């Protein structure tokens, strides 16, 4: 299949596919006599793996490790579990920060008296008047 077909099948943008090839998470494909890239089913499966991992928030370094682990089916999945736990910890940390942000925004809005900007609690809070 050609790159457009791979893009459609995997749901990954063509430029992203090329980027993944450049950084080595997707192998450089064979080329036809006209110079066009040609891909196989294994490439599509690998690309879907990468897309799914990225959608779960894994960075490319983690994706590389997970791809390497996938190629060792008899190995322990301890490393995969450690990587997933680290990602979960990061997600929980982001959720906590977003929850605090939500609380602060609600407080700022509640304190706004809808008067003049000179007396606006929202503008004051962002200007550093109240951390």
32-38 LR contacts (CB < 8 Å, sep 24+) = 36/2, 36/3, 37/2, 37/3, 38/1, 38/2
Whole-number pLDDT of residue 131: 46
Q: CA–CA separation, 80 vs 47, rounded Å?
A: 18
Over residues 49-70, the mean pLDDT reads 96
Residues 67 and 47 in one domain: yes
Mean pLDDT of the chain: 90
Over residues 81-98, the mean pLDDT reads 96
Over residues 17-37, the mean pLDDT reads 93
Over residues 7-17, the mean pLDDT reads 96
**Is the pLDDT at 125 greater than 50, yes or no?**
yes
Torsion of CA 43, 49, 52, 55, to 10 degrees: -80
Q: CA–CA separation, 31 vs 6, rounded Å?
A: 14
Residues 4 and 52 in one domain: yes
Residues 65 and 85 in one domain: no
Residues 20 and 54 in one domain: yes
Over residues 51-72, the mean pLDDT reads 95
Residues 49 and 96 in one domain: no
């Amino acid at each position: 299949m050609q790159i457009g077909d791979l893009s459609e099948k995997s749901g990954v943008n063509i430029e992203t596919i090329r980027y993944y090839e450049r950084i080595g998470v997707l192998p450089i494909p064979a080329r036809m006599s006209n110079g066009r890239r040609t891909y196989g089913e294994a490439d599509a499966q690998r690309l879907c793996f990468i897309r799914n991992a990225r959608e779960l928030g894994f960075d490319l370094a983690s994706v590389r490790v997970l791809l390497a682990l996938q190629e060792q089916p008899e190995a322990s999945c301890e490393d995969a579990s450690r990587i997933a736990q680290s990602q979960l910890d990061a997600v929980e940390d982001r959720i906590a920060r977003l929850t605090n942000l939500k609380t602060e925004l609600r407080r700022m809005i509640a304190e706004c008296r809808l008067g003049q900007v000179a007396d606006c609690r929202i503008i004051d809070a962002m200007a550093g008047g109240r951390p």
